[in-house]
Structure 1
C-alpha cells in the first residue's frame, strides 16, 4: 500500500481487483474505506481520530488535482500538535488564489498565496510551517483553542513568539491580524499541557491576581518542587489536576497510588513551609467563578497560617521567564452570567 499504507481504487483496479473485490475485502475486515476510492488496513483506520485524520490528509493530497498545501487544523495534526476540540471532520488545504475558498463534506479548501518560506515538507506532504499554522488557527479558531495549540508549539521550541508576530505581517491585507496578534501575545511557552493553558485563560477571565508559571520552590536550600502556578503575593501554589495526573505514565514506573502518595507528601512539605496549595480540575474550569471561589478559600487559609511570613523572605527561585509577560484579559463576560448560564467549555482528553 505504499509508505502511507493507503490503497487507491485506481491502483487496485490496475492490479486486477474490481469494485466487488474491494467491497468484499471491506466486509471481511481486510480493508477499511477511508474516503471514496481510498482504503487502509483496519488497524490504521481504527486508530485515534488524529491518526485517522492524518491518513485522510495523505489521501486528499494524493487525489488533489491542483497545487495545494496542508494547512490550519490539518497542518497542526501533521506537525503533531495537540488539537484541543479542533474539528477534524474536514481536511484543510490551502491553494493559490485570492477568491474565497469552499467547503465540502470532507474538505475545506482555503485560498492564499503562501511563499516558499511558509511551506515545509513533512512525510512527503507540503505543509504550512508551524508558525503559519499557528497564525492561521489564531485567525480562524476560538481564542482559547488557538492559544493552547500555540503554547504547545512554543513549549516544544517548534516556533517562537517573534516568528509568529512576523508571520502576522505576511497576512494578505492583514486579514485577521488583530485577532491573531491578541492570541499570540497571550501564548506562553511555560504552559506544559492544554489544561495549564486553559487554566491560565480562565484565571484571566476570573480576574485572579498575577502569578508565575513553572516556579521552582526552595526553602532553606531544600527543593520542594515546581509549581504549575505560583501566587507569590499570597503564598499560594496552584496545581491543575488533569485526568492523567495519577495514571501510569510511560516514563514513570510508579503506580498511580504511589504517585498520589508522593504528591501528598509534596503538598505537606509546601504547607509546612507556610505555603497554601490550591487544586482544581477540568470541572472547576467550566466557569470562572469556580476558580474564584477556590482561590478565595486558599487565600483565607494562607493568611491564617503561622508561616505566612515566608512571603517576606521570598524563599523561591524563579525559572527563566519567556519574552512575553502575563496574557491580557481578553474576555469581559461576567462570572455571574457564566455560572447562571452553565458550562460551555469542552474537556480536553
Structure 2
C-alpha cells in the first residue's frame, strides 16, 4: 500500500495502482498527461521522460520487473552491472536478467531472462535504492564481472572489469579488488565461459580511466602494439609533474590520449564553459610536447576501426 492517498512511488505496478484506488481511466489519463510513463507490461514510473543514460532506464525496469518475482530471483549479468553503476557499453539491456539458484528452469520472455546457476551466499549482496524504495538483491560485484565476462564479448567485459577495479578517488576503494576477481573466476570453475572470464580477469586493469580507454586497450592488443603504461606521470628535467597521460610508451617518448566528451565534462571547473576546458587541455599538451614527447590523440569514433590511429602510432612505436 502507498504512504498516502495521492502518493505514487517512482516505480509502480498497475495492480498496485488499482488496489490503491486509481481507476483504469485515471491511469490512462495520467499516462496521457505524462504523470506516468510506461516501463513495460503493467509497470510505470513517475520519473519523467526516459533519461539519456540507458543504464538509469534499465534500473527502473529492473525494479519494476523484480516486484513481480519471488524473492529467490537475484538480479545478475548486465542488469547487475547497471545496478552497480558499472558502464554497460555494448551490453544488451533489452531484458532484465535474474539468476535463480537452481540446476534448471531458465526461461526467456520479452522483458525477462531467467538463468539457473549456483548462487552461494557470498555471491549475493543487497543494493540500497534511492529514497524509501528499499533494496535489490543483486549478484556481488566480483560475481557480476565474471558473469558478464562468461556471457558477453571480450571488449564489453573488459569495459566492465576495468571500471569495477578502478578507484573512484584515492580515498575510495574499488568496487572489486584483484584478489576478489581472481577468487570469483576460480569459483566459476567449469561453467560455460569460464575460460573467457579468466582471459578478461588477466587483461583487466583498474588504471583504465573510461570505457573509451578500455576499448582502446583492447584495440591495441588486437593490433599487436607494445603494451602501454597506463596513467603515466610525465615530469620535467627537475622532476616537476607536468601531466598524467592515458597511455605512454616511455622508451619511445610517445603519449596516447583518448578524447571523449565525458572526459572534457570532468575537466570543467565551476563557472567554466566547455571551451575553457579544451583550451586548458591544449596548454597541457603543449607542456607535454615541450618535454620532447609526441602526443597521438583519438576520439570515440576512431576506436572501431582502429586503423587510422594505428597509422599514427606505428611510425612512433616501430
TM over 0.5: yes
Query: What is aligned with 1:345?
Result: none
Match of 2:127 among 103, 113, 122: 122
Is 2:300 the counterpart of 1:282? yes
Is the 1:246–1:257 contact (alpha carbons within 8 Å) kept by the matching residues of 2? no
Q: Could you tell me how far 1:168 is from its partner in structure 2? A: 1.8
Instruction: Mark the structure with the bigger radius of gyration.
Output: 1
Q: Residue 235 of structure 1: which of 239, 244, 253 is its match?
A: 253
Provide closer, same or farther for how the CA distance between residues 244 and 47 of structure 1 changes in structure 2, counting only shifts above 3 A. Answer: closer
The corresponding residue for 1:201 is 218
Deviation at 1:9, TM superposition (A): 2.3
Q: Check the 8 A contact 1:9/1:37 in 2, yes or no.
A: yes
Number of equivalent positions: 300
- How does the TM-score come out when normalised to structure 1? 0.80
Please report how far the alpha carbon of residue 120 of structure 1 lies from its aligned counterpart in structure 2 after TM superposition.
Answer: 0.4
Conserved 8 A contact 1:205-1:288:
no
2:278 to 249, 260, 273: 260
The answer (yes or no) to whether the contact 1:199–1:285 under 8 Å persists in 2 is yes
Following superposition, the deviation at residue 170 of structure 1 comes to 1.8
SS of residue paired to 1:230? strand
The one-character-per-residue Cα deviations of 1:36-65 (angstroms, maximum 9, x if unpaired) are 222221516556422221111111111003
Q: Is 1:111 aligned to residue 129 of structure 2?
A: no
Partner of 1:21: 26
Task: Quote the Cα distance in structure 1 between the aligned partners of 2:290 and 2:53.
Answer: 44
Once the two structures are TM-superposed, the CA of residue 75 in structure 1 deviates from its matched residue by 0.6
Alignment of 1:301-312 (within 5 A): none
After TM superposition, the structure 1 stretch with the greater mean CA deviation from structure 2, 21-30 or 252-261, is 252-261
Tell me the equivalent position of 2:78: 73
In 2: Cα distance, 1:262 partner to 1:77 partner: 33
Instruction: Note the C-alpha offset of 1:19.
Output: 2.0
Structure 2 unaligned blocks of 5 or more: 129-134, 168-173
* 1:299 CA drift (Å): 5.3
What is the CA–CA distance in structure 2 between the aligned matches of 1:218 and 1:4, rounded to whole Å?
A: 53
Q: Among 142, 150, 158, which residue is 1:147 paired with?
A: 158
**Match in the other structure for 2:101:** 96
- Structure 2 counterpart of 1:32: 37
Q: Distance between the aligned counterparts of 2:26 and 2:45, measured in 1?
A: 15
Distance of aligned partners of 1:130 and 1:269 in 2 relative to their CA distance in 1, 3 Å threshold = same
The corresponding residue for 1:188 is 205
Shift of 1:112: 1.1
CA contact (8 A) 2:268 2:274 kept: no
SS in 1 for 2:48: helix
Q: TM-score, normalised by structure 2?
A: 0.87
Query: 1:18 Cα deviation (Å)?
Result: 2.5
Q: 2:235 aligns with which of 213, 218, 229?
A: 218
Pick 1 or 2: higher relative contact order, CA cutoff 8 A, min separation 6.
1
Change over 3 Å in CA distance of 1:184–1:252 after alignment to 2: farther
1:54-99 residue CA offsets vs partner (Å, 9 max, x unmatched): 1111111110036110001111111111111212110000012112
Helix, strand or coil: the match of 1:229?
strand
8 Å Cα contact 2:12-2:64 kept in structure 1: no
For residue 172 of structure 1, report the CA deviation from its aligned partner.
Answer: 5.9
**Residues in 2 aligned to 1:11 and 1:138: alpha-carbon distance in whole angstroms:** 37
How many Å apart are 1:23 and its aligned residue? 1.6
Q: 1:4 to 1:237 in 2, by over 3 A?
A: farther
Shift in Å, 1:4: 5.4
Aligned to 2:89, the other structure's residue is in SS state: coil
